[in-house]
Amino acid sequence: MKLKTLLFIAASALTCTMAKAGQQVARPKLVVGLVIDQMRWDYLYRYMPHYGEGGFKRLLKQGYSCENTRIPYVPSVTAIGHSCIYTGSVPSIHGIAGNNFVKNGQKVYCTDDATVRPVGTTSKAGYMSPRNLWVTTIGDELRMATNDQAKVVGVALKDRSSILPAGHNPNGAYWFDDATGGFITSTYYTSKLPAWVKTFNAQKLADKYLSAPWNTLLDKKAYTQSTADRTNYEDGIQPGVEATLPLNLPALRKQYGYGILRHTPFGNTITLDMAKAAIEGEALGTDSVTDLLAVSCSSTDYIGHQVGTNAVEIEDTYLRLDRDIAAFLDYLDQKVGRGEYLIFLSADHGASNNALYLTDRRIPAGSWDSDGAKRYLNEAVNAAVHTNGNVVSHVMNNQVFFDRKAIAAQGLDFDRIKAAAVQRLEQDSAVLYAVDMAKTATSALPDEVKFRIINGYNRERSGDVQIVLKPGFSAHGLKGTDHGAWNPYDTHIPLVFMGWGVTPGASTRQCYMTDIAPTIAALLHIQAPSGCVGQPIF
């Protein structure tokens, strides 16, 4: 009995000693991830003459910029990008194979979950959770490393941009609801909105931001970009709506509802307002245990898709975002303390130049018709193997998906079907390469393309044939912009760390989006996420 008692006391003493030692690990009070949706790396510098001193310029001067950060997979889209940043993993491992992908033979949205219910709304926007994500996030690891004492919160306009970064076991994830103009969540996280979220929504900030026109910050002659570029090539904020500034937001609010806020710079503003409310409401960064706040500014993506990369509207959006970031950093200085927080800024993907914009400059470019490709692929496959109906089910994410149940039921040769599809795609003048996903490793592809296809291929959820379009070509059409390819315009992203533990500087050494999570893990002295394939940046 005495021996057992002594062992218990010794074990208790050791536990207490370890706990004290754990408390002495040097860590910041708060980690903030700031992801700017569709921000190309060159946007850091393209608009610099008009940036203030407290936003992007402060991050570059006081932080460490990884100037050659690339995305190591395709397709380069929002859901995968946000998952990759916070898991250090790739679609082949983490399971998020696109914004939409095929699961059990059915096309699904990345965060759809019929087993949960909306909280804060009655709209379908609340049927969401992270259950399709197969691995842990840096927030999950932080929670486990601190016995769930650390608090983790995700905030974004887009559901996927809040849910996937926040991970499986956060204190909350909140996204914007077009029906109510407020932020909502689902029963995966809680049965009712926290009081602080209700208070935030009661301010009706969406009404405030949509109550006045969207005017220009500068005289149009002072903008870096050309108004002519926008006029010639771009759609407008919504189909049939001209986006030439100033834009009549009250009228658009009446016509389209709260969803129009996403297509204005003020969608970024309300997101950072919500981020501040989360810091206050959850008391983030107020004690000795490190907390994590994952924030994504989504309006840059909505606007970019509508007006392209060469428009006054996109430049004006980044100038306003620069001001919002400056105000947010000032808030963090006051609330958490300068030097007490660690922030990183990055993007989920970049964006291509508009095809007509390029061809007007004698640069090869064009639009690729994915619906037309589906039709001609079914014709080619039917001619090759004589199927009973169409076995090409989807062409999305620049991938060809086949109806495997129909193929198996008819006893068809799947390899012959894929070979017929590849052969037909290679006859398309917009296609650079077409490759059977199962044979990518042995295909005659450049390494820069090959390893991205392999990393992006998820056996259960990806297509069976990868399509690589020629540079400058996309399936978006001839209006606005798109993304998703391997090319630098889609995969070269900003990455800047600033604050606690960071020495100012810059490097052009190549690193990858997958290196962000292990860098944070190394700084915090915690385990990297369960699917992490990246390396710390030091």
Question: Annotated catalytic sites, by residue?
Answer: 78
Q: What's the CA gap between 298 and 454, in Å, rounded?
A: 28
The phi and psi torsions of 85 (rounded to 5 degrees) equal -60, -45
DSSP readout, 60-100? HHHSEEETTEE--SSS--HHHHHHHHHHS--HHHH---SSE
Strands (E), 274-337: 291-297
Find out whether 349 and 78 touch, Cβ atoms under 8 Å.
yes
Q: What's the CA gap between 264 and 213, in Å, rounded?
A: 10
Judged by phi (left if over 0) then psi (alpha if -120 to 50, else beta), residue 134 lies in: alpha
The number of beta carbons lying within 10 Å of the beta carbon of residue 440 is 18
The phi and psi torsions of 82 (rounded to 5 degrees) equal -65, -40
Q: What's the CA gap between 520 and 75, in Å, rounded?
A: 25
Structure-token match 């909105």, residue found: 193
CA of 82: how far to CAs of 318, 339, 397, in Å? 20, 26, 16
Find out whether 412 and 391 touch, Cβ atoms under 8 Å.
yes
Q: What's the CA gap between 313 and 290, in Å, rounded?
A: 38
